[in-house]
Amino acid sequence: AKLKSFAAKIIQLLKEWTETFPYDFQDEKSMKELKEIAHRITQCDEENGTVKKIISQMTQNLLMALSARSQYQEIREKFRQPVTDKGTILKTKPQSTQKDILSVCCDPLILAQQLTYIELERVSNIYPEDLMQIVSHMDSLDNHKCRSDVTKTYNLEAYDNWFNCLSMLVATEICRVVKKKQRTRTVEFFIDVARECFNIGNFNSMMAII
């Protein structure tokens, strides 16, 4: 009876651990230890099929979470690769093919909504590991130690980079317009986009535009 009670508590602990910090189990050693613990728990209560089912579901969810984050990281790495000078690309392209933001989307609300979708996608991929990474990194800097065991997740960095990219996009779209009248129109458009972002509650994009 005591073993069954203990097993239930261990299952709850592992379930919350794998859901909140799945990156702790991304290497083979930690995954092997998790499977060994799960096997021992199952042996403590072999006649109860529910325990085995819970552990199986927990392991499956963990593998899916690690796979999803790995795929997201691969996509992130593609965007991190250096590109050629964009200024040169613009000069070589014919003037007729160079589209400004207003020719692509002239409705401030629609652009604000699209920016919000991007913000939500970036935020949804920030996990407790990313915050713990910063704490660990700051602690290692204070103690002058090298934390080689810390796994980089880049998700906070991606969110920060998105803010900078949006700011640069706004500045570029305004500065690339030659005529003052068109430039004024572009500035007013982005002011309207920022206002719509504020109305939606997307304060990060609003501040990037400002």
* Coil/strand/helix, residue 107: coil
Per the domain annotation, does 145 fall within a domain? no
Residue 150 CA to residue 111 CA, distance in Å, equals 38
* Contact residues for 156 (Cβ-Cβ < 8 A; gap 6+): 126, 130, 131, 133, 134
**pLDDT of amino acid 157:** 79
**pLDDT of amino acid 55:** 86
**pLDDT of amino acid 150:** 45
Per the domain annotation, does 129 fall within a domain? yes
Residue 127 carries which side chain, given as an amino acid letter? Answer: Y
Same domain for 52 and 128?
no
**pLDDT of amino acid 147:** 46
Which residue do the tokens 């083979």 mark? Answer: 28
Residue 168 CA to residue 166 CA, distance in Å, equals 5
Same domain for 119 and 191?
yes
Per the domain annotation, does 80 fall within a domain? no
Complete DSSP assignment for 19-40: HH-GGGG-SHHHHHHHHHHHHH
In the chain, % helix, strand, coil (3-state, to 5) comes to 80, 0, 20
**pLDDT of amino acid 89:** 54
Same domain for 38 and 122?
no
Per the domain annotation, does 176 fall within a domain? yes
Instruction: List the CATH number of the domain containing 106.
Output: 1.10.840.10
**pLDDT of amino acid 76:** 66
Per the domain annotation, does 35 fall within a domain? yes
Residue 103 carries which side chain, given as an amino acid letter? Answer: S
Same domain for 55 and 120?
no
Residue 128 CA to residue 19 CA, distance in Å, equals 10
Per the domain annotation, does 171 fall within a domain? yes
Same domain for 115 and 178?
yes
Contact 153, 134 (CB under 8 A): no
Same domain for 205 and 123?
yes
List the chain pLDDT tens, one digit each, 210 residues: 777 778 888 888 998 888 888 888 888 888 889 888 888 888 776 666 778 888 888 888 888 888 877 777 776 666 666 555 555 555 665 655 667 888 888 899 999 999 999 999 888 878 777 777 777 666 655 555 544 444 555 677 778 888 999 999 999 999 988 899 999 999 999 999 999 999 999 999 999 999
Same domain for 155 and 57?
no
- The total number of structural domains that make up the chain: 2
Q: Show the domain range for 34.
A: 1-75
The distance from CA 49 to its chain's CA centroid, rounded to whole angstroms, is: 37
pTM of structure: 0.61
